[in-house]
Amino acid sequence: MAVCKPWSACLLPAPKGRVCTNYARCVNQILQSSNNMQMWLRVPLRKHEDGDSMDDQSLGGDPIDSWETWNSFRLLCEHNSQLSVALDVLGSLPSTNSLGRWFGEPVRAAIIHTNAFLTNARGHPCLSKRHQKLLTSFFNHSVQAIISGELAHSVLVGPLESATSNAVNHDNSDLGHPLRSYLYYVGYLYQKMDPLPQQELYELSYRDFLQSPLQPLMDNLEAQTYETFEKDTVKYLQYQRAISKALLDRIPDEKSSSVTTVLMVVGAGRGPLVRASLEAAKETGRKLKVYAVEKNPNAVITLHSLVKLEGWENIVTIVASDMRQWDAPEKADILVSELLGSFGDNELSPECLDGAQRFLKSDGISIPSSYTSFFQPITSTKLYNDVKAHRDLAHFETPYVVKLHKIARLAPCQPVFTFVHPDHSPTKDNQRYTKLKFEIPDDTGSALVHGFAGYFDATLYKDVHLGIEPTMPTPNMFSWFPIFFSLRTPVCVRPGTPLEVHMWRCSSSTKVWYEWCVASPSESPVHNSKGRSYWVGL
C-alpha cells in the first residue's frame, strides 16, 4: 500500500548471496529487449558493518553489504536506466553515512516491514526516530512507501488513523485491510512534513536537470535570463552591503560631502548592480559617480531606459563596450562585477577582471575581492544515466549546471582554485593545477563515484561573502546552481581507500577549459584533453 503516486514496474526478488551473475544476465536480456519495462530489484537495507542476520537471509540478502550486491547487479546490467531499487527497510538501520549512499541511487520504493515498527503507549504501531527521519527523506526523494509483512499489532482504528485515512486513501477501499494501522501511521508521517520553502518550490522543475553553462563572452544573455537573475534580491543585498563597507572605508565621514567616489560596474547587465551601488551611497551618505560598462546591446538599451526613468543622468554614465577593450577616461576607486559562475571562475571572471584592472587605482577596491572553487565526489545514478543517454564522449566531458537533488555526497568539499583581485603580480597566469585526496568515511561502506559537484565561495569585501558551497551557502540565494563534472566510467571506492583526483584549468589565446581525472583507487582517462569537448570562448 503506497502513500505517494505509484509506479508501474516488475518487482524482482533479492539476489541470493553475493554472486548474481546469471540472475543479472537474464534480467539484462529482458531490459535490452524492452523499451519501457521498468524493473525494481529488491534489496535489503542492512548494516554493512554487521555480520549475518536472520532478516537478511529470509530476504535472500547479502550477508556483507547489500549495496555491494546492488552495485554488482547494475554493473552487469550496464547501468541500465530502467533498472531501479526497492529497499527492504528492517528493524535495524545502517549508519547515517551508509544510508546516505542510497540517495544517489535509483530507489523507487521503500518496503517497510511490520517487524520494523515499534509499539507506542496506546498499542499503536510507530517507528523509531531514525526510521522516521529516513522515511521523510525518502518522501523528499519521491520514493514510494510500501507496507509488508504479518500483522504484529492488534489495534482498532484510533484517532490518529481516522485523521489521516482520507488523506491516504480517499475511497477508503482499504478500511478492512489488516495492515491499515501501519499505513495510517506512514500517512501521518507524510502529512506532518514541513512544506517546501518558496525557493525550493521555485527550483522543483530544475532538480537534476542538466543545463549547459553560459558562454558570457561569446553569447549575449537573453532578456529572460537577466530577468531571472534580477529576482535574486539576496545577492544584490550582499553586494550593497559590500559596497557600503567599501565606501565607509574609502571616504571618512568628514570628507563625505566633498569627495566623490568613482565606481565602475563592469558587466552591468540591465542595472541591478548600478541600483545596489546607488543604494549603498544613499545609505552611507557618500557621493558617487558611476560608470556602467556593458557589451550586450539589448541590455544597454534597457540601461538607458532605467537611468532616464530613475533620474540618474547626472550620476551614471553608460558605456556600451567590452570591459577588456574600453579606454576609461579616469581611474576607478571601486570596481564592481558579477561575473562569477557556478565554479567561481568558469565564466571567465579572472580574464575579464584582469582586463579591467588597468583602470582601477593602485589602491582601488575590487568587489568581489576573491573567490574559491570547491570539489566534492558524489553518487548520482540519475545524472550519470542522463549524460550516458547521449552516447558520445562530448557529453561526458562537458560540465553541466544542475540543481542537485538525487545525489549522495560522499566526502566533504575541498578547495580547488582561488583567484584574488586586484592581482598585482608582475606576470598574471590564470592557469591552475591541483591534486585532491578525498577520504570516504569508513562507516559509509563502498560507494560509486559518478562524478564531482563543483561550488564556489566569494569574498565580496572583508566579511561579506557570497556562495553556494554546502557548508556555508548564502541563504535564500538562487542565482547559481552547482556544476557537475561527470566521469566516463564511474569509480568504485572501498572503505579505507582514498580517492585521488587531479584538476587543471587551462587556457589559450582564444579559450579556457578544464581537464580532470581520477588517479586512485583506479585510473581514469584525462577528461576533456585540450578542451576537445568543452571550452569557454575568450
Assigned domain for 344 exists: no
Assigned domain for 354 exists: no
- Whole-angstrom distance, CA of residue 76 vs CA of residue 65: 17
Specify whether 382 is located in the same domain as 528: yes
Which tens digit of pLDDT belongs to each residue from 408-455? Answer: 999 999 999 999 999 988 888 999 999 999 999 999 999 999 999 999
What is the secondary structure of 398-449 as a DSSP string?
S-EE-B--S-EE-S--EEEEEEESS---SS----EEEEEEE---GGG--EEE
Assigned domain for 522 exists: yes
Q: Are 234 and 475 in contact (CB under 8 A)?
A: yes
pLDDT value for 8: 81
Q: Structure pTM?
A: 0.91
Spatial strand order of the sheet with 107-113 comes to 10-12, 39-45, 83-89, 107-113, 144-148
Assigned domain for 5 exists: no
Specify whether 404 is located in the same domain as 510: yes
Specify whether 60 is located in the same domain as 120: yes
The CATH number linked to 385 is 2.70.160.11
State the catalytic residue, choosing from 105, 347, 397, 469.
347
pLDDT value for 172: 45
In the chain, the number of structural domains is: 3
What is the secondary structure of 104-146 as a DSSP string?
GS-EEEEEEEGGG-EE-TTS-EE--HHHHHHHHHHHHTTPEEE
Q: Are 352 and 512 in contact (CB under 8 A)?
A: no
Assigned domain for 201 exists: no
- Identify the residue with better confidence: 256 or 163: 256
Q: Is 222 a catalytic residue?
A: no
The answer to whether residue 63 scores a pLDDT higher than 90 is no
The DSSP symbol for 530 reads G
The CATH number linked to 108 is 3.20.20.150
- Identify the residue with better confidence: 228 or 159: 228
- Whole-angstrom distance, CA of residue 219 vs CA of residue 216: 6
pLDDT value for 46: 83
Assigned domain for 130 exists: yes
DSSP H or E stretch at residue 355:
helix 349-356
DSSP H or E stretch at residue 360:
strand 360-367
Assigned domain for 361 exists: no
Specify whether 160 is located in the same domain as 16: yes
State the catalytic residue, choosing from 105, 161, 338, 515.
338
The DSSP symbol for 522 reads S
Mean residue pLDDT of the chain comes to 91
Q: Is 254 a catalytic residue?
A: no
Q: Are 461 and 242 in contact (CB under 8 A)?
A: yes
Specify whether 240 is located in the same domain as 142: no
- Whole-angstrom distance, CA of residue 439 vs CA of residue 455: 19
Assigned domain for 280 exists: yes
Q: Could you tell me the residue range of the domain that residue 533 belongs to?
A: 371-537
DSSP H or E stretch at residue 160:
helix 159-168
The DSSP symbol for 78 reads T
